[in-house]
Amino acid sequence: METHLDSFWIFALLFKCNSLPSHHNTVSLFLFLFLFLCMTWLALALCFWAYPGGPAWGNYWLKKGCKSKLVPGPRGFPVLGSMNLMANLAHHKLATAANLFNAKRLMAFSMGETRFLITCNPVVAKEILNSSVFADRPVKESAYGLMFNRAIGFAPYGVYWRTLRRIAATHLFCPKQISSTEAQRKDIGSQMVSLIACHRGDIRVRDILKKASLNNMMCSVFGRRYELGSSNTETERLRELVEEGYELLGKLNWSDHLPWLASLDLQKIRFRCSQMVPKVNRFVNQIIQEHKARSNGQRRQDFVDVLLSLQGPEKLSDQDMVAVLWEMIFRGTDTVSVLIEWILARMVLHSDIQAKVHHELDHIVGRSRPLMESDIQSMVYLQAVVKEVLRLHPPGPLLSWARLAITDTTVDGYEVPEGTVAMVNMWAITRDPEVWMDPLKFWPERFVCKDGGGVDMEFSVLGSDLRLAPFGSGRRTCPGKALGLATVSFWVGSLLHEFEWVKSSNRAVDLSEVLRLSCEMANPLSVKVRPRRGC
Ligand code: HEM
């Protein structure tokens, strides 16, 4: 793409070269070549950038030759594309861009050299998530650095990943395994209640929820039991590792999209991963060895025991076990505590709705006894509250991790090449007035009564209806969703059964968000409680 201006410069330089002595000629020739290459690169970068969706899309279509209509979307900047869209509150920015480009069904954008697609439409979301083509995850340096490519979430689509999913479905998250940990959830729930009851004045619930959630996963995964009120070095060490891992995995890594930057490790992500992995290995390996040393008769049935008992093609190496167990701790801890904090915040803000949950608790459980997990299935309104919070505050507004096209395919009638990354903006879908009536209104009744704009009472949030699928859908859907929902519903039910939750006198409830690996409250919830059950 040489312009007249480019030709003028080239001739001027050649002329200059000819009129200089020979060593100057060599320098000038290099200079000329360098300038020529720069200009060619710049011209190409501008050509790529001119395509809808920006440079990564332009690079593909210009080489391939475009025969079909192109997906609309922002060009962003030359070379970099729309990196800015994925910083901070990416789900807000992407929803705004989709509106701006009239591309709510499907929008293309570039992150450096990576082609992205995103949808804010439930029908297109279903097409993507349930397609066998989008069964892979894009490569993320930090995920590989933290060994997650050997765990379920980032294992490439194939035999190994299918084996892990089968193990998860039949052994780790089957109804029998979930109900076998009911007593543990009850115990940790009671410890939370006691801890909160002892507090005078304002309580920052996040600290308690995070610790409870980590203790719960430590117990399910490693069989370790800890008191919530006391601190110990083992959970402290693990908590630090989990926090560091969240930060590394949640960070936008430029090297993932600009491979020519990779060797520089500018954000020190590779370095930090390499520092962290030996610590994780030491920690988890020690627990595996302790389990192996125990005689069979002494075995409880935590995840380590389950994995050690596998035989034949399902048997995992110690290193793979470390990755799988580490991922369980990692995924199961923050999603649950983040969601409960949002639910409690909404209960404090909407005291009339909290009163309705209390009324249901009094009616079904009564104040004479604590809540039991078996009560939850009768508590229609409490379940509606959980669904309504998942709708307005999904912990993964962009469904946490994106999907990668394994082969060329079509989405919503558009040609989509292999290697394209696809995402679903669940946050935008759940706030779309064309999908949900009065979408910004916190109104759990929409899940109780179909009349007046609600949905069926049986509405499932587990992935069959993409109007609200906070756990994703299709082959890569969240394997821990039943466990996650059971834990959240029971703990929230217990906390509401035991206490009335009221505003703190010093701090208003602030619903601002911050998007890390999950979308959390930017300002931790600070509240007061009033005991309800004869304390
Ligand atoms: C409120 C709780 C939870 C929420 C909102 C949640 C949400 C999600 C989402 C949105 C995905 C991506 C799904 C997709 O690509 O379609 C996911 C994947 C995953 N989740 Fe969860 N999750 C929760 C709890 C848990 C728990 C308790 C565990 C395990 C202990 C877990 C383990 C995983 C794993 C291993 C994957 C990767 C699946 C794969 O790639 O095959 N999650 N989760």
Q: What is the CATH number of the domain that holds 366?
A: 1.10.630.10
Decide if 57 is inside a domain.
Answer: no
Decide if 83 is inside a domain.
Answer: no
Decide if 14 is inside a domain.
Answer: no
Residue of the CA atom closest to atom 33 of ligand 1: 478
Give the β-pairing of 421-424 and 114-119. Answer: parallel
Position 436 scores a pLDDT of 96
The C-alpha atoms of residue 533 and residue 535 are separated, in whole angstroms, by: 6
Position 353 scores a pLDDT of 98
Query: Candidates 139, 331, 425, 518: which one to mutate for ligand 1, based on the most atoms within 8 Å of Cβ?
Result: 331
pLDDT tens digits, one per residue of 276-298: 999 999 999 999 999 998 866 56
Position 19 scores a pLDDT of 52
Ligand 1 atom closest to Cα of residue 165:
41
Lowest mean pLDDT among 15-24, 54-63, 119-128: 15-24
User: 3-state DSSP helix/strand/coil percent for the chain, to nearest 5?
Assistant: 55, 10, 35
535 marked ligand binding residue: no
Position 5 scores a pLDDT of 41
Cα separations in angstroms, 301 against 220, 222, 484: 8, 9, 19
Decide if 74 is inside a domain.
Answer: no
pLDDT tens digits, one per residue of 22-52: 677 888 888 889 999 999 988 888 888 989 9
Both tokens of residue 452? 């007046």
Decide if 396 is inside a domain.
Answer: yes
* Stretch 368-389: mean pLDDT: 97
Residue 230, burial from CB neighbour count under 10 angstroms (0-12, 13-18, 19+): exposed
Decide if 414 is inside a domain.
Answer: yes
The C-alpha atoms of residue 171 and residue 454 are separated, in whole angstroms, by: 37
The C-alpha atoms of residue 372 and residue 356 are separated, in whole angstroms, by: 19
Phi/psi of residue 130, each to 5°? -95, 0
pLDDT confidence of 301, banded at 50, 70, 90? confident
37 — alpha (psi -120 to 50), left (phi > 0) or beta? alpha
Query: Candidates 136, 213, 478, 492: which one to mutate for ligand 1, based on the most atoms within 8 Å of Cβ?
Result: 478
Decide if 50 is inside a domain.
Answer: no
* Ligand 1 within 6 A of CB of 397: no
- For residue 206, pLDDT over 70 is answered with yes
* Ligand 1 within 6 A of CB of 148: no
Both tokens of residue 318? 């110690």
Residue of the CA atom closest to atom 38 of ligand 1: 153
* Ligand 1 within 6 A of CB of 483: yes
Range of the structural domain that residue 500 is part of: 145-531
Higher per-residue confidence, 523 vs 139? 523
Decide if 260 is inside a domain.
Answer: yes
pTM: 0.92
Position 397 scores a pLDDT of 97
Position 4 scores a pLDDT of 43
Q: Which one-letter DSSP state was computed for residue 140?
A: -
Please spell the DSSP secondary structure of 30-42, one letter per residue. Answer: HHHHHHHHHHHHH
- For residue 384, pLDDT over 50 is answered with yes
Query: Residue 495, Cα to own-chain centre: how many angstroms?
Result: 26
User: How many Å is the Cα radius of gyration of the chain?
Assistant: 27
* Ligand 1 within 6 A of CB of 463: no
Position 280 scores a pLDDT of 92
> Residues 82-90: contacts with CB within 8 Å, 24+ apart?
82/54, 82/109, 82/110, 82/111, 83/111, 83/112, 83/252, 83/254, 83/257, 85/109, 86/111, 86/252, 87/252, 88/515, 89/513, 89/514, 89/515, 90/398, 90/515
Position 452 scores a pLDDT of 73
* Stretch 318-323: mean pLDDT: 94
Number of domains making up the chain: 1
The C-alpha atoms of residue 378 and residue 446 are separated, in whole angstroms, by: 18
Element (H or E) spanning 514, and its range?
A: strand 513-515
The C-alpha atoms of residue 94 and residue 107 are separated, in whole angstroms, by: 9
* Stretch 244-265: mean pLDDT: 92
Ligand 1 atom closest to Cα of residue 137:
40
| Cβ contact 83:252 at 8 Å | yes
pLDDT confidence of 1, banded at 50, 70, 90? very low
Both tokens of residue 351? 């005291």
- For residue 316, pLDDT over 90 is answered with yes
Nearest one of 240, 208, 101, 231 to 499, comparing CA atoms? 208
